[in-house]
């Protein structure tokens, strides 16, 4: 169960963020701000205490705060070393470190030559799947696994190909249930899980967000919404159109623990 989250207000520089979908155009900042406010409101409605950090104008992608740290339930947070050069210094922001220090006595850090975006890290209980991608390398994964094992947790590597982050294609809900893109339907690392397989025309909906029995799902993907409801979950819908334009989705807009 989650009790706490940290989010960051979108910066006006968001419109210049990293994008894998330039054909969708740049986001509307004012609309993105309203959508983010609704996102935080939903987290609070679902029982989380949410700390919202101020915008960081020097970092267009800083609203995607999940890539700044891995927050575990066992007394340790791991500050990342993001894979994109333009995001590398986000983790040095004092308000991020102060917010983590309020909740964690032990804070570790990934160091050079490791690079990692925690959007590549899928938590299932005390086990962590770490996607090896363009943003996350073996050196970082090895460091993280060593830290996890020192605190009674485990981790393993999963090769990621053709996508930005592992959680673009695989998201854990609860009760051994995964939401997966078709490319991961038969992946051996996830053979023992129940799978909600998302059709290609609703691909963006893979990245839905489980919060204490309820799943937050992006609007406009009725087949995925129905499949999640049929699996026994309550669903809350949210419009994240402006974040989709810069390859942003639900899990990456908060740190949850």
Token duo for residue 233 = 């979950």
Q: Check if 74 is active-site.
A: no
Whole-angstrom distance, CA of residue 207 vs CA of residue 170: 7
- Among candidate residues 71, 103, 134, 252, the one labeled active-site is 252
User: Measured between alpha carbons, how far is 19 from 223 in angstroms, rounded to an integer?
Assistant: 26
> Phi/psi class of residue 231: alpha, beta or left (left: φ > 0; alpha: ψ in -120 to 50)?
alpha
Residues 81 and 43: their CA atoms lie apart, in Å, by 26
E strands, 173-256, are 177-181, 194-198, 209-211, 214-218, 234-238, 255-256
Q: Of 36, 71, 151, 165, which is the active-site residue?
A: 165
* Active-site residue flag, 252: yes
CA distances from 188 to 17, 59, 120, 165, 185 (A): 34, 37, 17, 18, 9
**Catalytic residue list:** 165, 252
């Amino acid at each position: 169960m989650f009790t706490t989250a940290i989010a960051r207000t979108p910066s006006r520089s968001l419109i210049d963020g990293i994008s894998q979908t330039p054909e969708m155009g740049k986001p509307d900042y004012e609309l993105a701000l309203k959508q983010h406010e609704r996102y935080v409101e939903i987290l609070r409605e679902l029982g989380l205490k949410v700390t919202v950090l101020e915008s960081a104008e020097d970092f267009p992608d800083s609203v995607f705060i999940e890539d700044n740290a891995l927050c575990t339930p066992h007394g340790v947070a791991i500050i990342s070393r993001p894979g994109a050069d333009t995001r590398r210094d986000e983790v040095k922001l004092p308000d991020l470190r102060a917010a983590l220090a309020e909740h964690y006595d032990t804070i570790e850090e990934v160091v050079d030559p490791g690079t990692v975006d925690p959007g590549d890290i899928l938590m299932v209980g005390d086990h962590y799947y770490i996607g090896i991608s363009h943003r996350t390398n073996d050196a970082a994964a090895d460091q993280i696994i060593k830290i996890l094992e020192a605190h009674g947790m485990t981790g393993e590597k999963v090769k990621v190909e053709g996508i930005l982050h592992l959680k673009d294609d695989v998201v854990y809900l609860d009760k051994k249930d995964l939401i997966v893109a078709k490319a991961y339907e038969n992946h051996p690392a996830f053979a023992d899980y129940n799978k909600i397989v998302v059709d290609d025309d609703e691909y963006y909906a893979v990245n839905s967000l489980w919060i204490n029995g309820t799943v937050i799902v992006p609007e406009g993907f009725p087949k995925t919404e129905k499949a999640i409801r049929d699996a026994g979950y309550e669903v809350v819908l949210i419009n994240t159109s402006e974040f989709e334009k810069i390859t942003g989705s639900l899990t990456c807009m908060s740190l949850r623990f």
